[in-house]
Amino acid sequence: MEHTEEHSSLREHRAPLEEDQAPLKELDEWDDFVAIRYRQGKSEEEFRNYKADANPTVTEFYRQNHKYQTLDFVLKKKAEYCGLNREKKSIWEMAEYLNTLVDDSDPDTDVTQIEHLLQTAEAIRKDGHPRWFILAGFLHDLGKVLCLYGEPQWAVVGDTFPAGCAYSDQVVFPEFFAANPDSGKPEYQTQYGIYERNCGLGKVHLSFGHDEYIFRVTQKYLPEEARYMLRYHSFYAAHRHGAYRHLMNEHDEAMFEWVRKFNPYDLYSKGRERPNTKEILPYYQGLVSEFFPDKIDW
């Protein structure tokens, strides 16, 4: 195709550019980085050196995520997806759909998306936790279907952070926020920004991704502890490092106990043996139908 001036000006106006959509070889590369970052037995000093664990694609992924997740973007995506008027599907249909997101790098060792969900849930089940907790494990990453809806990786995964107020340096790669247009808006860069002191996280717009989406889809059907687990599982700056407490209220503080209880199962269940899907499936079918009707809104 001939390259005309008209073409290049069109390209400039199409944001984000095609090459900015998918720096990760696979979506799980981000999850793997987080698991390494919080590897068990790691010292505080090793932790603070997290950049050593980030390969160039993960670093590029964060560069994009921090640059493009503006408050305006978050509000647009919430308006687009959180009304849940896309389709009616069962949890199982969506899980099957998510499984079409196949890792092409090493199909023999990489677990599928459903396997990651089952591994997480099984680890919770083995520790004798309540059924809704096990269910939260099974559901927690289903929001990654956003990727199959055509969303770029930086709008699906990544550590989440509040938009519309000052960025905490407890968020990984805080230097990349300099490229976010919100950095140039003084009203968004005070400690509280557009929010009020201890207003509660329910009023705070976190960067958009799979956490918020699966929370919205399932919120009618799950107890509050599970809703917190789903909604904030990638909010590491808060649940791991105690940042943004000035936006949280006492209720959030109490509920974050559950977010913290959930986190190790997400981080460390991957190394376990592959789940025997066939054997455990009936248990999960029973569990899902205990809480959900056949079809729900997505």
Is 60:158 a contact under the CB 8 Å cutoff? no
- Residue nearer to Fe ion on the CB measure, 182 or 266: 266
State in angstroms the smallest separation of the CB of 151 from Fe ion. 14
**Contact, 119 vs 95, CB < 8 A?**
no
Which residues between 32 and 91 bind Fe ion (CB under 5 A)? none
Interface segment toward Fe ion; rule CB under 5 A; list 92-100, 164-172, 261-269, 288-296: 261-269
Which of 30, 68, 266, 269 touches Fe ion by CB under 5 A?
A: 266
Of 153 and 182, CB closest to Fe ion: 153
Residues 180, 167: Cα–Cα separation, whole Å: 11
Site for Fe ion in 118-147 (CB under 5 A): 141
Binding string to Fe ion for residues 141 to 180, with x set by CB under 5 A, is what? x---------------------------------------
CB–CB of 105/83 below 8 Å? Answer: no
* Nearest to Fe ion of 141, 212 (CB atom): 141
CB of 262 to Fe ion, least distance (A): 10
CB of 206 to Fe ion, least distance (A): 13
CB 129, min distance to Fe ion, A: 16
Q: How far is the CB of 269 from Fe ion (least distance, A)?
A: 8
Tokens representing residue 213 in the block: 């989406």
Under the criterion CB under 5 A, does residue 212 sit at the interface with Fe ion?
Answer: no
What CA–CA distance (Å, rounded) separates 193 from 163? 9
Stretch that binds Fe ion, among 100-108, 167-175, 258-266, 283-291 (CB under 5 A): 258-266
Residues that bind Fe ion (CB under 5 A): 141, 266
